[in-house]
């Protein structure tokens, strides 16, 4: 019984410390409903109730919201094969660029 109580205390302490450090590392604009300093004080003084309040109400959600998207909407809707607005091809990685691969091959062989 004592071991279970100790584990629960350690879990509660870990959640509290996680939330405390998360409040400290959050930018002012990412804290919801209250200023960052207010959230810090709530988590610091409220211990686990403050930590739960931060997790539920204070931090910005990790998923995509209505005002934040992972890709520009025109990219998702255009179906133009990843071309930019000006019609130029989208940037490609070096391993997809044949000219880069030729130059790399020449360097490896010592032809330069």
Q: Which tens digits make up the pLDDT trace of 61-98?
A: 665 455 555 555 554 444 555 555 566 666 777 777 88
In whole angstroms, what is the distance from residue 89 CA to residue 32 CA?
39
Binned at pLDDT 50, 70 and 90, residue 41 comes out as very high
Within a domain: residue 67?
no
Query: 90: which residues sit within 8 A by CB, 6+ positions away?
Result: 82, 83, 84
Q: Structural domain of residue 79, as residue ranges? A: 73-109
What are the Cα distances from residue 69, in Å, to 28, 62, 63, 75, 86?
A: 20, 12, 9, 11, 21
Q: In terms of domains, do 9 and 51 share one?
A: yes
Q: In terms of domains, do 44 and 9 share one?
A: yes
Q: In terms of domains, do 51 and 83 share one?
A: no
Domain count, the chain: 2
Q: Which residue has the higher pLDDT, 90 or 22?
A: 22
Mean confidence (pLDDT) of the chain: 78
Within a domain: residue 66?
no
Q: In terms of domains, do 12 and 53 share one?
A: yes
């Amino acid at each position: 019984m004592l071991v279970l109580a100790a584990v629960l205390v350690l879990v509660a302490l870990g959640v509290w410390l996680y939330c405390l450090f998360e409040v400290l590392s959050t930018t002012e604009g990412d804290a919801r409903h209250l200023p960052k300093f207010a959230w810090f004080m709530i988590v610091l003084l409220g211990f686990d109730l403050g930590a739960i309040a931060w997790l539920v109400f204070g931090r910005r959600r990790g998923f995509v919201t209505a005002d934040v998207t992972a890709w520009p909407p025109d990219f998702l809707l255009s179906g133009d094969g990843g071309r930019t607005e000006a019609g130029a091809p989208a940037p490609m990685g070096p391993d997809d660029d044949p000219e880069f691969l030729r130059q790399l091959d020449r360097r490896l062989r010592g032809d330069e």
